[in-house]
């Protein structure tokens, strides 16, 4: 006996993704890629990989999520854009599947890396929340700290340091020396507690598959040493993902509310009737409104007068933080550069995070590569979102400016100036030079490990590539 069941129309997922914003992001990534293809490494695109994430800080909605490399949704099995036919023909089934999986992954969720200087606002926030730091604090940067037999340098090492820095200036100038001094005050217990509060080492549980775990790529109170604490304070030696850092950053600028990120807002039937309305999920409070307002002001100064000036959209108030991450091996050749920001300052309507992994340039360590992409995106997205200029226009930037010094602002950078040694001095704390040295980390994470602003050397030595 045959039973026939009539077909039933399925339901529709309504996403938080804004098609216009997504289109702008994809276009700007492509423009950057075209501008830098064959720029230094012949036969390669503008970077090894590029990721951009845009979210609404006040509810966790993902407005756009894009990357390079990507693939044709109508022909997802096509590898010809990234491999020669000879290379494709030489692949066995396993190699081909591995290549496809690398192409298909959503790097905003799957790619793990050390965040570098974009983590510094979280350290400052932890200090303010625990009372171990105050807005009146100052720090003297002489260019380096001596830790467990290592000289851990700041970018200003060659100049003798940044000198006296206010708490605000430590973020504006991305001063590693000051951040290490902060770590001594904050202490391991407070620091690791606030990493957990911000969600580092935890999945965000976004409603998409494939989010990477990072719980084994972060120090616990039991495994933290003075050296790892100091380097963690400026974003070195623990791993995160774009969605993890972006979600935490939203809470820093929205008054302290940590929302679970999402891409689905409701489910409708074939007639458009709402079957299920999916409300934003507030997970917890991370910081007070006072701390949030303070960090917004500090990051506003970072964009107007500090390392983030290239990202500034003329006429708009913005805040943000830069990152310039030296990759493994720590030879000063390959870098992952980034920028995370928000606008407008008084009432943030969007968070944007961009990284550029190994820009195709002979001089990689400039966060301006990422800042350019952010600025180009926001110049179109802010007006589209009916966010109006709130500052006087000054004619700041045009085109793909990679110098970051054409605006009259101080030529500041968070560039890495030295290397972590391959082996630590005998009898000292471990320096996790590869992800395998972090408890629980797997072999596959080593190639995803990056370093921002850490310059550890044996005491008394100077790296050849220091600046």
What are the chain's domains? 12-70+114-388+415-441+451-458 (3.40.710.10)
Nearest to 118 by CA among 428, 337, 445: 337
- Longest CA span, the chain: 88
Give the confidence band of 107 by pLDDT, cuts at 50, 70, 90: very high
**What pLDDT sits at residue 445?**
35
Pairing, β 450-452 against β 350-359: unpaired
Omega prior to 167 cis, within 30 of 0:
no
Instruction: Write down the H helix ranges in 37-157.
Output: 85-89, 93-104, 107-110, 120-130
How confident is the model over 16-41, as pLDDT tens digits?
999 999 999 999 999 999 999 988 88
Res. 406: pLDDT tops 60: no
At residue 465's C-alpha, the angle toward residues 461 and 467, to 5°, is 90
Which pTM value belongs to this model? 0.86
How confident is the model over 241-278, as pLDDT tens digits?
999 999 999 999 999 999 999 999 999 999 999 999 99
User: Which positions ≥6 away from 243 have C-beta within 8 Å?
Assistant: 53, 108, 109, 204, 206, 211, 261
Burial readout 50-76 (b: 16 or more C-beta within 10 A, e: otherwise): bbbbbbbbbbbbbbbbbbbbbeeeeee
**What pLDDT sits at residue 318?**
98
Q: By mean pLDDT, which of 214-223, 263-272, 411-420 is the weakest? A: 411-420
Cα separation, 352 vs 246, whole angstroms:
8
CB-based contact 163:402 (threshold 8 Å): no
Radius of gyration of the chain from Cα atoms? 22
Residue 340 structure tokens: 């995370």
Q: By mean pLDDT, which of 20-24, 309-313, 326-330 is the weakest? A: 326-330
Res. 298: pLDDT tops 90: yes
Nearest to 453 by CA among 165, 213, 176: 176
Task: Please provide the DSSP assignment of 11-28 as one string.
Answer: -EEEES--HHHHHHHHHH
Cα separation, 4 vs 27, whole angstroms:
47
User: Which positions ≥6 away from 156 have C-beta within 8 Å?
Assistant: 141, 143, 162, 173, 175, 177
Query: What is the pLDDT of the chain when averaged over all its residues?
Result: 86
Give the confidence band of 428 by pLDDT, cuts at 50, 70, 90: very low
Place of tokens 């708490």: 167
229-232: long-range pairs with CB below 8 Å, 24+: 229/183, 229/187, 229/188, 229/191, 230/145, 230/147, 230/152, 230/179, 230/180, 230/183, 230/184, 231/152, 231/180, 231/431, 231/454, 231/456, 232/119, 232/183, 232/191, 232/195
Res. 456: pLDDT tops 70: no
With a pLDDT cut of 90, the percent of the chain lying above it is 72
In the chain, count H helices and then E strands: 11, 16
Nearest to 208 by CA among 46, 387, 60, 49: 60
**What pLDDT sits at residue 415?**
52
Res. 454: pLDDT tops 60: no
CB-based contact 202:196 (threshold 8 Å): yes
**What pLDDT sits at residue 435?**
32
Res. 281: pLDDT tops 60: yes
> Phi/psi class of residue 199: alpha, beta or left (left: φ > 0; alpha: ψ in -120 to 50)?
left
Give phi and psi for 63, each to the nearest 5. -90, -30
Give the confidence band of 370 by pLDDT, cuts at 50, 70, 90: very high
Give the confidence band of 427 by pLDDT, cuts at 50, 70, 90: very low
């Amino acid at each position: 006996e045959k039973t026939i069941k009539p077909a039933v129309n399925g339901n529709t997922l309504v996403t938080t993704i804004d098609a216009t914003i997504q289109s702008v992001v994809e276009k700007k990534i492509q423009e950057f890629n075209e501008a830098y293809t064959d720029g230094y490494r012949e036969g390669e695109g503008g970077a090894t990989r590029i990721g951009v994430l845009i979210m609404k800080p006040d509810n966790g909605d993902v407005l756009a999520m894009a990357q390079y490399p990507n693939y044709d949704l109508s022909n997802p099995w096509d590898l010809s854009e990234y491999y020669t036919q000879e290379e494709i023909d030489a692949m066995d089934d396993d190699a081909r599947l591995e290549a496809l999986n690398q192409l298909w992954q959503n790097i905003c969720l799957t790619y793990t890396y050390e965040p570098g200087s974009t983590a510094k606002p979280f350290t400052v926030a932890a200090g303010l929340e625990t009372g171990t730091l105050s807005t009146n604090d100052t720090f003297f940067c002489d260019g380096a700290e001596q830790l467990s037999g290592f000289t851990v340098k700041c970018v200003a090492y060659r100049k003798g340091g940044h000198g006296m820095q206010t708490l605000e200036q430590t973020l504006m100038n991305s001063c590693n020396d000051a951040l290490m001094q902060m770590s001594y005050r904050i202490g391991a217990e407070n620091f690791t507690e606030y990493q957990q509060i911000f969600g580092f080492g935890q999945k965000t549980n976004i409603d998409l598959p494939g989010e990477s775990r990072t719980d084994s790529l972060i120090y616990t109170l039991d495994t933290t040493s003075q050296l790892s604490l100091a380097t963690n304070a400026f974003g070195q030696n623990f791993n995160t993902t774009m969605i993890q850092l972006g979600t935490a950053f939203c809470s820093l600028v929205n008054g302290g509310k940590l929302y679970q990120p999402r891409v689905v807002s409701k489910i409708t039937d074939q007639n458009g009737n709402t079957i299920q309305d999916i409300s934003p999920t507030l997970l917890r409070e991370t910081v007070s409104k006072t701390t949030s307002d303070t960090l917004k002001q500090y990051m506003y100064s970072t964009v107007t007068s500090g390392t983030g000036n290239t990202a500034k959209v003329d006429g708009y108030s913005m805040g943000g933080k830069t990152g310039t991450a030296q990759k493994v091996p720590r030879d000063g050749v390959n870098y992952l550069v980034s920028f995370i920001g928000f606008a407008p300052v008084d009432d943030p309507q969007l968070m944007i995070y961009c990284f550029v992994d190994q820009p195709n340039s002979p001089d990689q360590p400039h966060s301006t590569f990422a800042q350019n992409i952010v600025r180009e995106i926001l110049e179109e997205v802010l007006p589209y979102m009916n966010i109006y200029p709130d500052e006087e226009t000054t004619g700041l930037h045009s085109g793909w400016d990679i110098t970051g010094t054409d605006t009259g602002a101080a030529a500041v950078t968070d560039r890495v100036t030295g290397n972590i040694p391959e082996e630590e001095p005998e009898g000292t704390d471990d320096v996790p030079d590869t992800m395998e040295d972090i408890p629980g980390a797997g072999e596959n994470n080593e190639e995803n490990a990056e370093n921002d602003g850490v310059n550890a050397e044996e005491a008394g030595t100077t790296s050849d590539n220091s600046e």
